[in-house]
Amino acid sequence: MEDDAKQRKARLKALREKAGGANANDEPAAKRQRADDEAAEDSKPVLKFRNYKATTEDLKEKELPRPQVPDIAEKVEDQVTAGKESASTQVDLMNLAPRKPDWDLKRDCTARLEKLQRRTQRAIASVVQERMAADGDLAEAVDAYGNDSSAQDTMDTEA
C-alpha cells in the first residue's frame, strides 16, 4: 500500500509540475498564507474622493482633481440653429393631438350609420310623397304638418 501511495504522490507531483505549479509543495503553508493575505490587501478598494472635501491630511492625499468641463456653447448654438431650420417645416398639430376615446367605435359604426341615414331619407321622402298624393298639393301638406305640430305645441304648454 505504501508503494501505491508513493506512486500516486509521484504522479500528482508530475501533473502539478506539468501544469506549472512546480514549487507548490516546496513552499511552506505559512508563506503561501502570507502571499494570499498580501494579494487580498492589494485587491481592496482604494478610496477616491470626487466630491468630498477631506479635513485630515491623510484623506486629502486621496482627493481627485476637479475635472475640466468642456465648453459646449458652440454645440448648443449648432443645435439651436438646426432646430430653427427644422422648425420651418411645421408639423400638423391635428396629427399630434390625441384621439378621442371613442374614435374606434365611430370608425366601426360609420358604414351602418350611412345605411340608416339613406333609409331615413327614403322614409321621409315616401311620407312626404304620400301626403302630397293624399292632399294633392305640397304647400297644403306643409301647412298641414305645420298646423299639426303647432297644435301639439299648444297642447303641451296647456298641460
Q: How many domains does the chain have?
A: 2
Domain range spanning residue 44? 2-60
Give CA–CA dist 4/11, Å, rounded: 11
Q: Is residue 110 domain-resident? A: yes
Q: Is residue 71 domain-resident? A: no
Q: What is the pLDDT of residue 120?
A: 95
Q: Is residue 78 domain-resident? A: no
Q: Is residue 102 classed as helix, strand or coil in its secondary structure? A: coil
Q: Is residue 95 domain-resident? A: no
Give CA–CA dist 96/114, Å, rounded: 28
Which residues, other chains included, contact 49 with Cβ-Cβ below 8 Å and sequence gap of 6+? 59, 62, 63, 64
Q: Is residue 83 domain-resident? A: no
Q: Is residue 42 classed as helix, strand or coil in its secondary structure? A: helix
Higher pLDDT, 112 or 39: 112
Residues present in the chain in total: 159
Q: Is residue 36 domain-resident? A: yes
Q: Is residue 82 domain-resident? A: no
CA-wise closest residue to 131 among 119, 154, 148, 118: 148
Q: Is residue 87 domain-resident? A: no
In the chain, the N- to C-terminal Cα span, in Å, equals 125
Per-residue pLDDT of 5-56, as tens digits, reads 999 999 999 988 888 754 545 556 666 666 666 666 666 777 777 788 888 8
